[in-house]
Amino acid sequence: MPRRRTDSSSGTAELLNTLGDLTGRILDQIKVQQARVELAAALQRQVLAAELPVLPYLHVAGRYAPARDGLDIGGDWYDGFLMPDGSVGFVIGDVQGHDVEAAALMGQVRTCLRAVATATTDPAEVLRRTNDLLVAMDCGLFVTCSFLRFDPVTSELADARAGHIPAVWAVADGCCDIVLNDGGLPLGIQAGESYPSTRRPLTGVGAFVLLTDGVVEGPSYPIEQGLDQVAGLVNGACHTDPDELAAQVIQVADLTGHSDDAAVLVLRYGGLRDEWCSGGSQQQRQGEK
């Protein structure tokens, strides 16, 4: 009898030690995962907090909504920056997935695009070179993306798409189109891919709206229906404040029942130079008082 109690005590102690060891390992893994998530979230916040260019001839606004499921982080982003030749680059993109890896790659892709744009500002060439870099990195994820170049001298907008959903373009006379120009494969799939570009003059008054599929597509909401919904909002809103329009467009995601994150970038143009000059003169007069 005493021997049996001794064996039982020894077995219990050994089991408790094993459980304690496993618990310690699980806690260590949780801490590592938490650190990775916090790092990815911090990177995402830093990217999305970057200020968009302020121009007298183009008003720009962006919005982001996190994923409803999972880690509340993702790979959607937008960006805007001045380029060496005096033009302005705008980009919106979506990394496959909405997890730590997607958020981390999003930061790398954003950096790659900005770096490539110091050597060339042609949207087709920017996407081609960035694609080859991502293929060489062999990260295992693909990226959809639209890159735009706005020339403030000619008011010309050039854009190229890498597997990304179409933009919505509306003008003040009531015309509104879903921009279905040709594009290439998503970034990171196949080296040597080419990306057709389209050039269009931004004359008159209008709004060019870019978005990710989390805005317009959901479990029971086809992307065509979502794009039509956005087009209905943008049509006739060319004189609307771009911040307000971006806020309205991002709310379309609530209709889709989406689980992905979502991003919107609004470019409003035309009839702005006088507003800018008037506002600048008023601010200057206030400063002189």
Looking only at the bridges linking them, the beta strands covering 156-162 and 143-151 are antiparallel
Identify the pLDDT of residue 272: 55
Looking only at the bridges linking them, the beta strands covering 176-179 and 262-269 are unpaired
Identify the pLDDT of residue 242: 93
Identify the pLDDT of residue 220: 76
The pTM score is 0.79
Identify the pLDDT of residue 28: 57
Identify the pLDDT of residue 109: 92
In sequence order, which residues have a C-beta less than 8 Å from that of residue 170 and are 6 or more positions away? 176, 177, 206, 207, 209, 231, 234, 235, 236, 237, 238
Looking only at the bridges linking them, the beta strands covering 176-179 and 143-151 are unpaired
- Residue matched to tokens 């889709």: 256
Give, for 228, the enclosing helix (H) or strand (E).
helix 223-234
DSSP letters, 238-279, are TTS-HHHHHHHHHTTHHHHT--S-EEEEEEEESS-HHHHHHH
In sequence order, which residues have a C-beta less than 8 Å from that of residue 121 and are 6 or more positions away? 83, 84, 85, 87, 89, 149
Looking only at the bridges linking them, the beta strands covering 88-95 and 76-82 are antiparallel
d(CA 113, CA 179): 22
Residues of the chain with pLDDT under 70: 1-9, 15-16, 19-22, 24-50, 68-73, 98-99, 258, 271-289
Identify the pLDDT of residue 41: 56
- Residue matched to tokens 């404040």: 241
Tell me if residue 237 falls in helix, strand or coil: coil
Q: How far is CA 202 from CA 87, 122, 150, 156, in A?
A: 14, 17, 9, 6
Q: How far is CA 251 from CA 2, 9, 63, 69, 263, in A?
A: 72, 62, 10, 17, 11
Give, for 156, the enclosing helix (H) or strand (E).
strand 156-162
